[in-house]
Structure 1
Amino acid sequence: MGHFVRIAPAELRRLWADETVPVKAIAEKFGISTHGLGMRRRQMGLPPRSLATKVAAVGPDREPLFRAMWEAGCPVTEIATAFSIDMRTVSNTRDRLGLPKRRPGVKPPAIPAHRWPEFRAMWTAGVSAADIAEAFGVGTRTVWKFRVRLDLPARPVGALPTMTLVQYREQQLAEQMRAEAELVKARQAKRRAAAAAAGRAR
């Protein structure tokens, strides 16, 4: 024969009102089944809630990126990988954000999402559209479309590029080498400090 579990009404009301606490978690807290929790909920006149209620897999801070990737036409599998979620959650997030469903046959973007930061860096550095097109293996028209899609600033008509693709790559290499040199210096300084401390301790 089952036993009656006492539940503090105020605590149940508080947890039930918190949409981020799943129904299953509330039931486990009080040591009863979800069915038993449902009976108590009805007795107390609380509104129904979905058993699937939980914190959004894609939080507010990452919603802009999700929206940008969806609107850019990134494949669902790529979005799922980027957010470490399954494809069903991608669909649920799309519906939650009010984004349109994909039409059959929609092609993925010419420039994949994981290379967008590189595109942004080239555009911001002043590399010409023709050089950017060469770097990504696309046409210049695609470069202009992606400039708009990524909300990058337009360039004045007739403006000359501030650096070539070769210069950009040389700059990136120089920055990488500078960062690596700084890392080596920091490690050497740490070793010297450790050696000095060990010498003082003798």
Structure 2
Amino acid sequence: MLTVWGRLNSHNVKKVVWLAEEIGLPYARHDMGGAFGMSDAYLAMNPNALIPTIEDGDVVLWESNAILRYLAARHGGDALWPADPAVRAQADKWMDWQFAYADAQRDAFVNLVRRAPADRDMDAVARSATACGKLMAIVDQVLSRQPWLSGDSFGIGDIPMGVYAHSWFTLAIERPELPYVADWYARLKARPGYAAQVMIPLS
């Protein structure tokens, strides 16, 4: 059975358990990081002191998007890890692009979710919201031409940004009207793994 180490309120942990749900891969998740701290045994597996880390048989792996690629390749079949490199790359690029979006969203998330109201930097929140809106407009343009970031069907490229889309729609920030992103988000919410593992209160 797959073992996932990491607290579920982490965006990066949500990615991994959502993919496991999509694949139908049995897994056990153990809280680690944040308020739960990190044991010496965990740090021996992942000296970066970050989450998540997985154990899959003899395989120990960290870095969330590397984990997604591994699980999709090993357990997901052609639907999630296409044999054609050109098709696979069209989804795969969004996994790397997501890091730019995560940087843009960080100030809004940290201030509105992790800080008390008196300690919030609302100018930083506004700048973050503007940066997020510009990047989400790129997502909207792509989704105006295809139903999923991965292409004609749901795939691994939808998972990293799908996790961050929930935060974008949940945070109390100004958002531009992006109809194709809104439609994509509605379809993500209909997926059981997304509803159960991603759509939890931000914390």
User: What's the TM-score, normalizing by structure 1?
Assistant: 0.26
- Computing the radius of gyration from Cα coordinates, the structure with the larger value is 1
User: What's the TM-score, normalizing by structure 2?
Assistant: 0.26
